[in-house]
Amino acid sequence: MNDMRQMTALGRGIEDESFSIIDAEVGEHPYPADEWQVVRRVIHSTADFEFKSLVAFGNDAIRAGIAALRRGCPVLVDVKMIAVGLNEQRLAAYGCVVHGFISDADVIADARATNSTRAIESMRKAHRLGLLDGAIVAIGNAPTALLEVLRLEREEGARPALVVGVPVGFVSAAESKEALIASTLPYVAARGRKGGSTIAVAILHALLMLSVSGRHGAAS
């Protein structure tokens, strides 16, 4: 866990140069140092500088996310693309296990039976299994999954440690993220229609880097 980047010297140099370019092009920004590490990695993964004004943090999100990782929290994802993108070795060093249920046969059957969505039923299954409380929930694709997590928190007392809410799309994507921002849950969100699994992965990897880098709590 001492070297989270796991790159060759050439790879490190390319990444460092990329971050220097991002810093230079963005210039001054309102983010504290630890939040900027997250935003900068999102920009690095997308080459989209609009995220400098879209990424929002709330309710002590960085501290909550790092603390959850360090205690080996479950990581619950809405789609397999996030699970594939995550570095399992980095997570396993803390004892974190990634869970995703959207393709499970019972989830598909429940969604068909109730005219729901697989994303909704996957979050309900996670709650039934006791995986939501204390978890980091990463949603990059399905606004209905994010809305269901918020309902489970509001109506059934589920309490994730952190919600990374960055679903992409046109139907309820922006609205679901605004609902997250209005909640009492610790969150990292990307306002508006933009988002996606790549961004969820970038945010989680940035939190992993912060968890071992000593940057958390540094001045902006």
- State pLDDT tens for residues 124-155: 999 999 999 999 999 999 999 999 999 999 99
CATH superfamily of 54-213: Cobalamin biosynthesis CobH/CbiC, precorrin-8X methylmutase (3.40.50.10230)
Q: Per residue in 23-56, pLDDT tens?
A: 999 989 999 999 999 999 999 999 999 999 999 9
Catalytic residue numbers read 44
CA distances from 119 to 27, 72, 146 (A): 38, 24, 9
User: Domain boundaries in the chain?
Assistant: 54-213
pTM, entire model:
0.92
